[in-house]
Structure 1
């Protein structure tokens, strides 16, 4: 099983080829656009595992943007006790859903 750990949007993700993942919104991408992630922290294929220090030079992950969406609304409720002060605020985080097409290194494609 081939998998990699990448850094995307300030988070680390364990990814596999042929699956889709939700990452923080990538504003400069449109649906069906190609994304290349070069911050690969760990790469594992067949029986070999390569660790980066902090990243693996020459490695990449190619992904396709499927669509953009908003996560479920998070409500923030603030109240001051013994006062009639209440405040409800909502926030919906933007996300980008990507499909992993390939994981590879400079000359090898996994």
Structure 2
């Protein structure tokens, strides 16, 4: 029986499963003060699926918690921004890499029951 949840974190909706890691936009003030291995939990859960049973929130589920921990900070893929000024015959190239946080999901709870990956 596999369980997963859809959570709202860092301005995006993610499908998370226990035992997997995910990268999200850097949303903490300073990860260095918290350190890696810091426990986190979120209650902004939109959907929990445990086998064939699906629970949908409006907008979030009550009594549902996803627990995990920070692993480390990282960078996203590099974006190249090119600007061309045709009348001046010049061009400018800039690169940008977004700060990301990698975190692992430990467990998904709904009404104190665990939706585990067995």
Q: TM-score, normalized by length of structure 2?
A: 0.86
Correspondence for 1:67? 72
Work out the number of aligned pairs and report it.
110
Which digits, 9 at most, give the CA deviation of each residue in 1:10-51, with x for residues without a partner? 111111111111111132442111111111000111332100
Correspondence for 1:34? 39
Aligned partners of 2:8 and 2:98: how far apart in 1? 19
Q: How does 1:13-52 map to 2 (within 5 A)?
A: 13-28=14-29, 29=31, 30-52=35-57
Which digits, 9 at most, give the CA deviation of each residue in 1:24-83, with x for residues without a partner? 113244211111111100011133210000100111100111110112321101012232
Q: TM-score, normalized by length of structure 1?
A: 0.91
Structure 2: give runs of 5+ residues left out of the alignment: none
Equivalent residue of 2:84, what SS? strand
Correspondence for 1:90? 95
When structure 1 is superposed on structure 2, of 50-59 and 68-77 the one drifting more is: 68-77
Structure 1: give runs of 5+ residues left out of the alignment: none
Q: Alpha carbon RMSD of aligned pairs, Å?
A: 1.3
